[in-house]
Amino acid sequence: MTKNFLFGFLFSVLLIGLVACGQPAVGKAVGDSGSSDSGSSEVVNQSSGLEDSAPKTGAEKSSATKSELKTLADVSEQPSGVFNRLWSDPPTLDPHLTSDTTSAGVVVEIFGGLVGFDTNLQLIPDLADSWDVSTDGLTYTFKIRENAAFHDGTKVTAGDFKWSLERAVNPDTASPTAKTYLGDIVGVEDVLEGRGSEIRGVKAVDDVTLQIQIDAPKAYFLAKLTYPTAYVVDKNNVSEGGLNWTDNPNGTGPFRLTDYKIGERIILERNDLYHLEKAKLAKIQMNLAGGSSMAMYENDEIDITGVGLFDLERIKDPGDPLNGDLVVAEPGYSVNYIGFNVEQPPFDDPKFRRALNHAIDKELIAREVYSDLVVPAYGILPPGFPGFNESLEGLRHDPVLAKKLLSESKYADPVSRPRIVVTIPGTGGTPGLDLEVIINMWLETLGVEVEIQQVEWATYLKDLDEEKFQAFGGLGWEADYPDPQDFLDILFHSDSENNHGLYSNQEADVLLEDARVETDSVRRIDLYQNAEEIIVNDAAWVPLWFAGERHVLIKPYVKGYELTPMTMSKMRYVYIED
């Protein structure tokens, strides 16, 4: 679901529980949500140029009163309890612009799509209660639920989905994720390029039947529709609200936004008209003012926090009063990295990029900086993820080879070597200790000097999408769906909009393209692993860390909260026990 970047990774590890479409519910950039849990460009445009294909509006549009729809709810289950958590201001609440985990963590609770994931990563129906796939694997026919409704009670139709998909890919919307997550649909490229406003491959057959045609059979296509770019939005809400329509979003999700004050709070309340099992919570309060999450947890101001390195030993002690609140979760599906723009010197030289990789002692940093709470990454796909290649050697620490490669590169002479700047998200604070150690290793091993530049998070995402950086760090990628395509194809194919380093390798492209349509699952994994090996040996990135076990404190009265490896809608399962 969301493009995936993990910003402030050191902070995330020091708050060991939280790394979150991106993403990320979404493949996305993972940002520090401040939530100390898992799972964060920002331009909010009203749609335009889509009027001819829009569904009927106003009195003509099929609707129902709230009282009629409430009869569909189980009135015996009244919501109770408030869940309090620490969060950060999301760069956007527009699902079609969401590309980070901080945004996605809120968006997935307010909006929804045709399909979703449950907490076991199983694909489940959402606003569509069923679908059929044609024998050639090209045409998907969805049936919209009879009780599917927006928060204001207006029924959701197939026409709403058609309009929403066309809004997402309209150039005026400026979605940073539309091509990535919707580009398989026939006709999307034409709309993205301004050659029309309607997607040829999307048809509202009637109010409850939506047909989508894709360009080739693809095993992961349904999973892509779980990403917020494919979510439905209300045309009236978007059109009448203008640039600020997300101040009062009329979504379809299990919660509705009732209050948002930048830098202070976000309040979500239960949607009593929700089409699936209603949320058990009455309200979610997200504190945006910042502070020490551990102190706030101990003062009963929030109900969940990650456990930082400095507190972990204490909390693990059975004698500590907080030990009983400790939950240890499996690693998330994310990777932290430093990216290079391979079209800018000195990163246009593969030998220079490989020299930088071999100069880093990741094992030392993992042990001394992170106390082995992260796993050194030598590939792209995380452990436990489909397609993970445990035999991939990667570019291991080898200072002798690093020096040799540098001496053979175009940039061996430090006098003529270009100035090197690594840009990271931030507003003037101290960069991550791991990055400082890495830069020192480059200097001591290779004599390569590197500067750090910090940019505010929303601006960072925008500049990243526009390929403005020479090198970029302090972030990562979290899976949007459990398929290797979500990492390797989306991040490294020459034509991908999320290929922020402009990496291009024809052999890797062919492998990735073949894997898209390969029906044999074993052969498909082989193709991805071969592509990954090429990408890693080309040093397109410096892969740094995979997440280790996540240590989180959850109040004992909070029930049903699952620590999932990806961002997804899950707060409707949570309840407060008296």
Of all helices (H) and strands (E), which one includes residue 297? helix 293-298
> Percent of the chain at pLDDT above 90?
78
**C-alpha span between 449 and 197 (Å, rounded):** 49
Q: Which of 56-60, 118-122, 327-331, 459-463 has the lowest mean pLDDT?
A: 56-60
pLDDT surpassing 60 at residue 157? yes
* pLDDT the model gives residue 29: 54
Q: Which of 253-257, 410-414, 487-491, 563-567 has the lowest mean pLDDT?
A: 563-567
* pLDDT the model gives residue 548: 79
Q: Which of 23-27, 152-156, 301-305, 309-313 has the lowest mean pLDDT?
A: 23-27
Strands 451-455 and 421-425: parallel
* pLDDT the model gives residue 28: 53
* pLDDT the model gives residue 469: 96
* pLDDT the model gives residue 12: 37
pLDDT surpassing 50 at residue 2? no
DSSP state of 321: T
Q: pLDDT tens digits, residue range 423-457?
A: 998 887 778 889 999 999 999 999 999 999 999 98
Torsion, Cα 517 104 161 190, to 10 degrees, reads -50
pLDDT surpassing 50 at residue 57? no
pLDDT surpassing 50 at residue 8? no
pLDDT surpassing 90 at residue 413? yes
Q: Which carries the bigger pLDDT value, residue 426 or residue 522?
A: 522
For residues 514-532, average pLDDT:
96
pLDDT surpassing 90 at residue 47? no
pLDDT surpassing 70 at residue 115? yes
DSSP state of 571: G
Residues contacting residue 135 through CB under 8 Å, at least 6 positions apart: none
CATH code of 334-472+480-543, in short, is 3.10.105.10
pLDDT surpassing 90 at residue 15? no
Residues contacting residue 240 through CB under 8 Å, at least 6 positions apart: none
Residues contacting residue 247 through CB under 8 Å, at least 6 positions apart: 241, 260
Q: pLDDT tens digits, residue range 543-553?
A: 999 987 789 99
pLDDT surpassing 60 at residue 103? yes
Q: pLDDT tens digits, residue range 186-240?
A: 999 999 999 999 999 999 999 999 999 999 999 999 999 999 999 999 999 999 9
Q: Which carries the bigger pLDDT value, residue 438 or residue 27?
A: 438
Token pair of 66 as six digits: 């709230």
* pLDDT the model gives residue 77: 67
Q: Which of 25-34, 303-312, 330-339 has the lowest mean pLDDT?
A: 25-34
Identity of the amino acid at 447: G
**C-alpha span between 60 and 157 (Å, rounded):** 13
**What is the model's pTM?**
0.82
DSSP state of 449: -
DSSP state of 5: -
pLDDT surpassing 90 at residue 497? no
> Percent of the chain at pLDDT above 70?
87
For residues 294-319, average pLDDT:
94
